[in-house]
Structure 1
């Protein structure tokens, strides 16, 4: 079942158990979607002409990012479930070790998707920074709260990536993605610092 077809109770129950069927990376992506929705609400509620092209473009990008993040969450969960299946099938069968190449392939898939989701989260933070001036003071707290959730989402995703990359068998992927991970972290830091300054001008502190 798609995540959008599940109740919040079901999602929370699927995360908070010993053997979750929603991994931490997917949970972080779903949290980011909630943050982005809060920011969208703040822009919608602000006082703009209904046909303002700047407003329309801002909302269209949020909708695109939301759609892409939801697809990323679905694929991330699918990759995680595949990884768990590989481990179940190949690990400790009559004392034999797992097929390292199969595990590595599944692990790679479970790492690449969160990295792409992290990129989308960074794009969202950059977009909110660019559009924060569109938001009225009365709802600015919602935009910045949404941005704070997106920032936490990025952190959770990157923690999941880090733990996936720690095994020795992932050394080449760890090296291959080092530049991308550093770039995303730098862009996140820049966008979030600017959002914090914008919030301070409105009298809010992260």
Structure 2
């Protein structure tokens, strides 16, 4: 079992990304970037809470903390699901039965490998909505942290959807249709300000 990417120092994580191994890849790295974005927004709200005990800000911190935890878990899940997909690619296809079993395994793994980044994108969209809502209440000296967090979130959301695009060819037609619709909706949400 692989250990969490969150237990490595950033320097080691960067070395792992740049290695010849396929994981961690774009999905997990994008989810880490999204986690940093959420953390910046959450920090700005926490600093503001030192001066403003507004209940809506407390609720925002709780929601952002939950989203951050979700993204942490999804980053590790992304690595795991991609490894499962890579293992399915190695399945034998030397006869019709084996080839069909491989195809079914690949479709199943590709569906899971699509669901993880879609869940991450949903979390990003939720965090962006919170950031937009709380921005006016944040201490002016650190509103740039909210803005930086939003930029990271938006870029990470767009980036995780590239992983979904990469999986489309492996999906069964009905699953592909559903996943494409969700991806289009997510992209539209990410482009709204």
TM over 0.5: yes
1:143-162 matches, cutoff 5 A: 143-162=146-165
Residue 141 of structure 1 aligns with which residue?
A: 144
> Residues 9, 170 of structure 1: CA spacing in aligned structure 2 closer, same or farther, 3 A cutoff?
farther
- Once residues 41 and 150 of structure 1 are traced to their aligned partners in structure 2, the CA distance between those partners, rounded to angstroms, is 15
- RMSD between aligned residues: 2.1
Looking at structure 2, the residues matched to 4 and 186 of structure 1 have their Cα atoms a distance apart, in angstroms, of 30
Q: TM-score normalized by structure 1?
A: 0.82
CA contact (8 A) 1:22 1:77 kept: yes
Aligned to 1:128: 131
Q: Which residue of 2 aligns with 1:24?
A: 26
C-alpha contact (below 8 Å) 2:121/2:160 kept by paired residues: yes
Give yes or no for contact 1:31–1:150 (8 Å, CA) kept in 2.
Answer: yes
**How many Å separate the matches in 1 of 2:11 and 2:94?**
35
Cα distance in 1 between the residues matched to 2:102 and 2:22 = 23
Quote the Cα distance in structure 1 between the aligned partners of 2:6 and 2:130: 24
Residue 48 of structure 1 contacts residue 55 of structure 1 at CA under 8 Å; is this kept in 2? no
Question: Is there any run of 5+ residues in structure 1 with no aligned partner, and where?
Answer: 194-206
Q: Unpaired segments of 5 or more residues in structure 2? A: none
**1:156, 1:171 → 2: CA distance?**
24
Q: 179, 183, 186: which is aligned to 2:185?
A: 183
CA distance in 2: counterparts of 1:117 and 1:136, whole angstroms: 28
* Matched pairs, number: 188
Shifted more, 153-162 versus 4-13: the winner is 4-13
**Ranges of 4+ aligned residues in structure 1 off by more than 6 Å:** none
Stretch deviating more after TM superposition (96-105 or 68-77): 96-105
In structure 1, what is the Cα distance between the partners aligned to 2:159 and 2:47? 29
The equivalences for 1:43-192 within 5 A come to 43-46=45-48, 48-49=50-51, 51-88=53-90, 90=91, 99-167=102-170, 169-190=171-192
